[in-house]
Structure 1
Amino acid sequence: MHQEGAVRNGMGSNAANVSFASLASFKDKAGMKGQRSTLQRWRFACGNMSYRVKLLTGCVVVLLALYCTSRAASIIGWDDQYPEVRSGSPRHRYTVLINTWKRYELLKKTVAHYSSCSNVDAVNVIWSEPQPPTKELHSKLTEVTERNQVEVRFNINKVDELNNRFKPIAGIRTDAVFSVDDDLVIPCPTMDLAFSVWLSAPRSMVGFVPRMHWPKQSDAQKHGREEYTYGGWWSVWWTGTYSMILTKASFLHKDYLDLYTNTMPSSILNFVKHERNCEDIAMSFLVANVTNASPLWVKGEVHEIGSTGISSLSGHTQHRTDCMNYFVEIFGHMPLVSTRVKATDASEIWFW
């Protein structure tokens, strides 16, 4: 009995020893695992930190490369400005013609903007309202333009009609005029680009708003008559083809103002007057008839700061189509020449 109890006590003691040993071993293993886990977390954190440092370094290198690339021309000594428009002579400057109608706040913004462009010689406001501009408006515009050392003039018309925007203006010192609506703002660098393009082809219309005439298959062609459909922006965007540059934002030679007013068929002038539309198409017909060449579209920013115009009205495309076909009938042929050429600033394109 005593031996059996001793054996049992021995077994209990051994079990306790085994239990304590197992617990100690477990704690040691747990401690080792904890150390390993901490080490792994540290290595992972270091790895992430290394990755972040590499990523940050890579971004810095890319930014430095972009900066150096943009400054390379200046550092090397290459002049990336448009050399043609640097002269201070009137021939190498242009006059802005702003067509406006009772939108005085817009007029103030556009006059202030265009008078700030370095190659502008003067700003002429085409005024066709029944009442002359107020002294306050005149004073405000004069204040802005004098600050930019540019003269502003009002060309007062007694009758309100769209042909007014192309009347010859006495005292213009420049060959180039830029015809623009009072709700369009084009950045000065983009204006410089377009003006440099115009200087290379001063008898062409050069601008930012292209349109197209599309031959129309109809019974009229069977009888020897030509008919066309007016193609708006989306047709130009889809095909890349255009034949007109709208005078809402276009450079042209000042001689075309005289030709439009004094040589354009009176039936077309009367049509524009009564329909209050299509004066820009008529000018495109005139220039194409003189040059037998296409206009030139310049890629650039065009910001519309006013509300939508007549182009958003129902039936606009059909109305413009009717204009074109009537002008073709008067001219006796279609003078417009289509093209897919587009001028762009090569310094803004890396792969070309």
Structure 2
Amino acid sequence: MQAAPSLIRRASLKRTIRPRMVFLIAVNVITILAFLNWRDRYVSKESIIKLMDDRVKAIFSPEREVSTAPETTSNFTGKAAYVSMVCLESDFLPVRALVHSIKLTEPANDIVVVVMHPIEDLQRNNLTTLGAKLVDTTTVKFDIDMSYLTDDEKEIESESEMAESEKSVNHESPSSEYERRQCRANVIQAWRLLEYDRILYMNPEMLVLENIDEVFQEPPFTATLELGGVIDESIMLLEPSMSVYKELKSVMVKAQHLPNEISYLNYFFKDIHPLNPLFNVKASYAEREYSRYFFQNAKVYNFEGTFKPWSFWFQGPKQWRRYFNERMTFAWRQMDYRVREKLGMDDPATIEWRNERGSEEICKSYLTSRVSLPERIMDRYSVLLATHSLRRQETLPLVIEQFLASPKVDKIFIIWHNKDQPISKNIQELLDSKKDQVVLLKQAFDSLNNRFNPVAEVRTGAVLISDDDVWAPIEDIELAFEAWRRQPDSLVGFAPRVDCLDPTDEMMKYCWPNKLNPHRYSIMLTKLMFMDANFLFLWRCSLPDLILKYVDDLINCEDIAVNFLISGVSSQPPLHIISPEVYDFGLEHGISSSPKHFAIRTECVQQITELFGRDTLVSARGSMSKYQNTDFLSSTWVDFLEVLREKEGHVAEFRDTEVIPADAFVSDEW
């Protein structure tokens, strides 16, 4: 009889819970249905799954056909155009090259540039002369939620804001992440070009390698896809429509919280026709399984990422190795030269120098020979040994033998500057006996730039640049190599110099590091130093040739310029190795023996700063040496206060501004 009330209470509780559960289930079902209905408005689940599957299984397969369209014949004959845009100040140079690269393929369609950022009349004339039609409009502004930036994006954004305060002299200023995202959103401007039936939108940072009119035969909406079926809006075939434009504006607001790599277009288009990735080849594709296929068959290059061929030497791009590709960088530089010649931007002397002593043949030969080589070796190094004088042929074999004594040396390449100079008997005997280890490279012409020519046979990540008249203990050279392995973005060497601001005239000068207080250095002489082999290609095949021509004209300062290059790319200072036994036997008759040497070098610092757009040199105060037995100085507690007082003046002196004496600018070496 006691259990009856308990049963009644349970029954009552069940009657109370059931309606609540039914209500909650109904709310959840309605919520899920509403979400699916909203999601289906913009994205077809089946199409996304299919695109993901196609992406993984087929898109990157070299066996697939170039066209990804269904096997139906397209007969599009309407009016079409290639379209890109100038949305940021930094867009002009890449857009200029893109327009000319399309025009050289003799396209059957118009080339249109949508101008949203004010550009000068000369720049407008450049684009129209190259064959572009300009459409002026204003940027559509959107509220972009920046709280979703990744840590890397926040770091880049912070650096961009700092760089705004020191805009470069001859180049565009960097753009903030907010501005870049605003411009990315303004891709929707392409849907407003109602004059055309189809538009192939192309990101400003692309370069066309061959005629791609065939893409207009693909069914709109066509775009390349990243892993997971995510649209890459760098290149898209679309049909202009004001109704689509208006809907895209509303979708963009809803999708603005998406990560940077996911386009809002994924939330709009139900059916996405995948375009073959050969129309959108990026440097990062080198990490993919079929990388060789991509770069050998590429139709369009996309210079996305931090490394830009038109500005890398002064902007210090983050993760530059990931976004650097030799073929792509050289292709852009060659197109820029063609643009300049078409527009008459270079004087006859520059064009003559480019044809006779320029880099085109050197770099083409290198790229042709470099294809089949394996990945670079990191636990050994190559030696690039420059020689010119006939009187040094007697000692050259001895220098080479010393390098060969190291097991870490992979190969020695003799840079034979004077092609007409005969090879002495002792050097020829060395070449014959050590042909697997020593290679002689005769240069087509004599130039200091040849010291940094890329060498196809170099297999190592590190190269030791050496003159034929210097000597250092091999153990110190190997110490420098180990230091480079830990700091591969830096020049690592034995003879530092520094650029310093002369307070008397507010001009940068070439100075002695040990004359400054506190001591520092920002330049490493290239007489004996380690560097990354990639910098050879960047020097010879990627820099504007006005810099290389300056070195040729002056017959000096290639070492200062290469320091500007490496610090400009890596944002890293050089590293000094302390060695008491580094000898330079060429001071008596070398370039640096002139009493005007420091004045010439000061002029170089100033001129190269102008050529690079800014002073890219980075200073350091530390050095590395072989281990020395040091420990704490021992003292008593009673002496502690006295020692602190004694060192107080030194601390105050250290906190003062840099002291530059007059003799920091002149040579006391000669």
Specify the TM-score bucket, using the shorter chain as the normaliser.
0.5 to 0.7
- Partners of 2:567 and 2:609 in 1: CA distance: 12
| 1:190 equivalent in structure 2 | 476
For residue 313 of structure 1, the aligned residue among 591, 594, 614 is 594
1:206–1:295 Cα contact (<8 Å) kept: yes
- Partners of 2:488 and 2:426 in 1: CA distance: 34
Q: Which runs of 5+ in 1 are unaligned?
A: 1-88, 222-226
Superposed counterparts of 1:2-151, under 5 Å: 90-102=377-389, 103-131=392-420, 133-134=422-423, 136-142=425-431, 145=434, 151=437
Superposed counterparts of 1:159-178, under 5 Å: 159-178=445-464
1:112–1:141 Cα contact (<8 Å) kept: no
Distance 1:312-1:305 versus aligned 2 partners, 3 A rule: closer
- Partners of 1:100 and 1:235 in 2: CA distance: 32
Distance 1:135-1:230 versus aligned 2 partners, 3 A rule: closer
| 1:228 equivalent in structure 2 | 508
| 2:536 equivalent in structure 1 | 257
Aligned to 1:290, what secondary structure does the other structure show? helix
Whether 1:270 aligns to 2:561 is no
1:257-299 per-residue CA deviation (whole Å, 9 max, x = no partner) reads 0000012221111111011100000100000000112110011
- Percent of paired sites with the same residue: 34
Structure with the higher helix share, 1 or 2: 1
1:192-239 per-residue CA deviation (whole Å, 9 max, x = no partner) reads 1111100001111111010000112366x5xxxxx3100136536x75
- Partners of 2:510 and 2:469 in 1: CA distance: 23
| 2:572 equivalent in structure 1 | 293
Query: Once superposed, which parts of structure 1, at least 4 consecutive aligned residues long, lie more than 6 Å away?
Result: none
| 2:604 equivalent in structure 1 | 323
- Partners of 2:630 and 2:514 in 1: CA distance: 27
1:119-162 per-residue CA deviation (whole Å, 9 max, x = no partner) reads 1111111111132542624433236747xxx6101111121110
- Partners of 1:105 and 1:112 in 2: CA distance: 13
Aligned to 2:503, what secondary structure does the other structure show? coil
Q: Which has the larger radius of gyration?
A: 1
- Partners of 1:263 and 1:218 in 2: CA distance: 37
Distance 1:250-1:143 versus aligned 2 partners, 3 A rule: same
- Partners of 2:385 and 2:574 in 1: CA distance: 21
Cα RMSD between the aligned structures?
2.1
Q: Which amino acid aligns with 1:325?
A: Q
Q: Provide the TM-score with structure 1 as the length reference.
A: 0.67
- Partners of 2:424 and 2:602 in 1: CA distance: 42
Number of matched pairs? 253
- Partners of 2:518 and 2:394 in 1: CA distance: 37
Whether 1:240 aligns to 2:240 is no
Whether 1:215 aligns to 2:501 is yes
Displacement of 1:166 in angstroms is: 0.4
Q: Which amino acid aligns with 1:229?
A: K
Distance 1:180-1:239 versus aligned 2 partners, 3 A rule: farther
Distance 1:307-1:209 versus aligned 2 partners, 3 A rule: closer
Q: Which runs of 5+ in 2 are unaligned?
A: 1-375, 633-670
Q: Which amino acid aligns with 1:321?
A: T
Displacement of 1:240 in angstroms is: 2.7
Displacement of 1:332 in angstroms is: 1.6
Aligned to 1:175, what secondary structure does the other structure show? strand
- Partners of 1:92 and 1:144 in 2: CA distance: 25
